[in-house]
Amino acid sequence: MEFLVNNKSPIELLAFGPGYWPHTIFPSDSYRDLNGHKIPHFYYRRGIATVSMRGGKQISRALAVPVREESEHEEMLFWK
């Protein structure tokens, strides 16, 4: 996400998933990772972290914030 921001990309949502997922063997509803994602779908929104340094200086960095529920990113999908 930081690379996208540094290169002035308008992208604010990253979505990943496999082209094929054997639902009969691995039902996605029963699998969640530590970010709360329903495997095999992974969504990240653009976020900003700001850290205050000595002398009052602040440093901000872009980061990928895990989206835990699919409804959190629905408004960002251009095809909806």
Residue 37 lies in a domain: yes
pLDDT of residue 70: 61
Residue 76 lies in a domain: no
Residue 59 lies in a domain: yes
CB 63 within 8 A of CB 1: yes
| pTM reported for the whole predicted model | 0.61
Residue 35 lies in a domain: yes
Residue 80 lies in a domain: no
Residue 75 lies in a domain: no
Comparing 31 with 15, the larger pLDDT belongs to 15
Percent of the residues in the chain that have a pLDDT greater than 90, as a whole number: 14
pLDDT of residue 78: 53
pLDDT at 26 exceeding the cut of 70: no
C-alpha to C-alpha distance for 58 and 65, rounded to whole angstroms:
20
Query: Domain residues for 49?
Result: 2-18+29-70
The total of structural domains in the chain comes to: 1
Q: How confident is the model at residue 80 (pLDDT cuts 50, 70, 90)?
A: very low
